[in-house]
Every structure is written in C-alpha cells, then in structure tokens.
Structure 1
Amino acid sequence: MATPKIPTAQPFTINNLPYGVISTKTDTTKRCATVLKNHAIDLSVLHSQGVLSDIPGLVDNVFAQENLNDFAKLPKETRVAVREKLQAYLAVSEPTSPAFIPLAEVENHFPMETRNFSDFYCSLEHTINLLLNKTDINPNWYTVPMVYNGRTSSLVVSGTPVHRPCGVFPTEKSNGKPAFQPEIHMDFELEMGVFLSKPLDRGQRLDINTCRDHIFGFVLLNDWSARNIQLFEMAPLGPFHSKGSGTSISPWIVTAEALEPILCPRVTPQTVSPPTHLTGNENADATYDIELSVRIQSELA
C-alpha cells in the first residue's frame, strides 16, 4: 500500500485520528473520542451504532469509559482494525451524526489513568543548556538514559492553569541565604510524552527489539520548571518540588500507527555505544522525522 501523504496545514486529518477523552455541557459523562478537522467524534456513540462493534477483540464498548486504558491495552491488531474502520467510515460520513461534536463545545480531559511516569533527561542540547558546559556532563549520561520518577499529581491537559510555585532558594533580596519565596523564573520544556499500553509482568525485562509493541501513542509535553528552586534542590538526589508544579500534555494522543509513515533512521550518531540490552536492530533504532517549534505569547498579570 502506498504511503499516504500527510497534509501539514490541518493537524486533525483522516491520517491522524488521535484519541482523547471528552465531555460536553449537555453530557458531562467522560467518554473516549477521536478528532477529525474541527469535530470530535464520540467513539462510544459509533460503537453503540454498530460502526465498530463487529471488530474482533472489541467485544465491550471500551469507549464508554472515562479513560483510554482498556482500549490502549488491547492487542495491536485490534487497535489497527479500529483505526482502519474509522478511516473508512469517516471518509464518507457527514458531520451530522450524533457522534460528531464541534470542538468548540468539547471539554478535554486527561486521556489515560496514569499511576506513575518517568521523566527522561536525554537531550544533549538541553543538558548543555542547563549545565552551560559540555565538559560538566557526567560520563554515565552518555551510557544509560538519565531518568527520574515524576509526580502524577502534576499531570494536566493543556489549558489547565499552572500556578507559580513557592520554594526555597537564595536571592539577593534574601542576602544570598536560602529563603521560602515565589519562583522568579518559570521555564518551559518542549518535550514528547509517550503513553505505554502493553504491560510487563513484575520481574520481566523488556526486549529492546519489541519496545515499539508497547507504545500506544505520543503527546506534546511541557514539563514546567521552577528554575531557581530546581538548581538549589537538585544536587545530589535530583529535583523535587521544582518538577512537581506542572506537567502539561496535549489532550489528543497521536498513535504510533499514525506516525509510521515518518519513521526514519537515526541521524545523530551515539558517540558512546550503549550497553547490549539497549542495542537493538534497525527497527528498534529508528526514530521519527518530526519538526517542532515554539511560539510564546506572554501576558502581564
């Protein structure tokens, strides 16, 4: 099958069809949805109408739930079948069905129940910007992924207000002594969030060559950083309150299947070879050709 050409002007195309969780003022029940152009499509309605009910492995209406967890952990073949059925249905459907809801009338919710998350520190450019000197990077950074546990209470969807945190750090106002005070500098961090779907039993080890089978999809992520609090508290154990003030994600999860057309070989070589358990085949080492940009609009309070 020919690789589809993905338009860039409209993110919610039929080639995308990301998943999220929505409600409306007229129906406050949270349920699963996808999005096409300027409409959210209520997947629980499509299932009840029989559009998706004949897909093997999709016995119950998993879309009538308040998160995507049960759908995400279904076998990949089932999820691919749902995506293909949606593409075929939406290609010929008019937005007059009760399943179509204008995005302006939709409230987005956090898409998956998340009991924990890991915050990776793997971008060389980001690390150099933080440490100001490449020579200050510890040798282990080049060998194993730098990562720490995040705080799930900080996770919110984009648009949720993130309040300026207070913490302990020294300033000229406090005569260089640590003092409890509001953060002076809030940093944004343009990152990608990865939602996993296929669990491992306790004690099992993930095979790097099958890691893609465990990925449900991706979101844009802003891990809000309280710069001065973080710099004061991070040595030697790592940041605490500074990384718990806010972690915003885009409300729609773009699936791994939607991104398959832009898989490509790694461009930047890894100068220190990773250990054997992190060395995979060509498929495991592939990456995505994604270009991101940041536009900041500030407002004075």
Structure 2
Amino acid sequence: MQLHIEDETSSLKAVILGTAESCGPTPTPEQAYDPKSLEHILAGTYPLEADMVKEMDAFAEVFAKHGVKVYRPTVLKDCNQIFSRDIAFVIEDRIFHSNILPDREREFEAIQHVLDQIDPLKIIRPPEEVHIEGGDVMPWNNYIFVGTYTGEDYPDYITARTNKQAVEFLKEQFPNKTVKSFELRKSNTNAKDNALHLDCCFQPVGKDKAILHKNGFLVEEEYQWLVDYFGQENIFEITKDEMYQMFSNVFSISPEVVVSEKNFTRLNNWLREQGFIVEEIPYAEIAKQEGLLRCSTMPLIRS
C-alpha cells in the first residue's frame, strides 16, 4: 500500500475506521481519560455498545456509498477501539505510531493486518519522550498544524496529549514543511473548558474554509493567525456549547463532501450554504466520550 496524505480534505481512497464492538463495560470514574467521559460515567448516561456500533455502521455505509476502501481493527475483547485517530496518523507516505497512554498500546497491534501492507521503512515510531496523538496533527499542504500544551504542569493533565518534543520531532521529520503549533486550553474536570485535541476546536473543510472555536486556544495570537490565514469570511465560529458537542470534529471525504452529526443543524446549514454536500449521521452517543467523526478515522490515502 502506497500511503499518501497531504491535507485534511482531498478525495479519500482508503481509511481505518475504528470499531465499537466488544468495547467493554462502562469505565469507573478512575478509568476516565477525559472530563466528558467522566461526566457521563457519573451521570449514568455513558453510551451503550449497541448504540455505538449502530452509529459506526452508519459511518461505514457513507464510506461505501462514496467508494472508499475501509479497514477495521481486529476486535480486542473488552477494549475501546473507537478512536483510531489516536493511535496513528499519516503524513505524506509515512505512518507514525502515536506514543499514547500506555494501556492503549494494544489498539495499535490490532491494525497489524493494515501495517503488513505498508513498507516497514515507512512505519515510524517516535522516541519515547515524544508524546503525540493524531487528533493534534493536521497536515495542510505546506503546513503541519499541531495542537500542543507546553505548560510546566503538562504532567498534571491527562488531557494534554502532545508535548513540545512532538513539535520538534515533526520539524525534524518534515524539514520542507512549516510546523505550526497551537497551545490548547486543558482541563481534567470541565469538558467545556477542555480542547482535548486540535480537532476539538479547529478543522479545515473544503479548500479554504475552517471551523474554529476561539476559547479552545490559550494564545489569542495563535487563534488570530488561523483567522487571518483562512479569512474571517471563510470561518464558521462555534460556541463553547458547540465545541462541547464536538461541532469541529466532522470529517471530509472530499473537498465537496463532509460527514457531520445530524443534530449539528447550524453547522450543517452553513456547510450547505457554502456548497458542500453534507452526509448527516447519528453520532451523539460516541460524542459522549469527547471524540467524534474525525477521531474515529485514520486516513491512509487521499488523492
């Protein structure tokens, strides 16, 4: 397999879509990786496996409709494998093995059947001190946008997933690209004040538009850089509540086709006004785990 990813929106040919099968019992509060999951665990509203399987099946059907080759991870017993974006990401013709929370290492092993089709020299494992997850990494033509957190209290945040060593690592790997990092707002306890990954508060759509949430960024100048780059008229600014619902975590099948959650009425209307085809699917149960459509996918080939 010849990997090829240069951006977030070119025509998708092959993708890994996570699985909700055998995702295990509802976690205990101590096992929660993020404040939104914790909120639903404590409220007794944590999503059921059957509902999440249905939502992912709907996503798979959209891919089939658009002729995309879909790979699924091997199902591991009692293991949450929904968010395939966390475990790896592709830039150009290389796949990078994320250094993620240690007890999620098995999830990477579950895509071995895909890795076996890739030149081993193109499978990169960053050094141990490089913390990085795919939700924080966005190739965008000559840029690589990276969400990070570099505060002294980085170790205190289970929600801080990509460190400054990761930014330097990507600069070394891609000397011909501009690696542009953005400091994200983190909270272990309040989901509305936590941008878990860059794709929780920002995402490009089409060729020149973007979904953005100002409060997800710690440094106003960095937020403003994106506004200036895309142009104010091309930006859909989402509210704090819309960020909480994961409005920016949609997924592009092509520059014209965006998969979105069916309840995102304000966003979906805007996308259609801009000329996009919007494929609406139910994904509100999976959203309870602070991840949505982009988080569930790991694109391998875009043309």
Tell me which structure has the larger Cα radius of gyration.
1
Question: Which structure features the higher share of helix residues?
Answer: 2
Q: TM-score range by the shorter chain?
A: under 0.3
* TM-score normalised per structure 1: 0.26
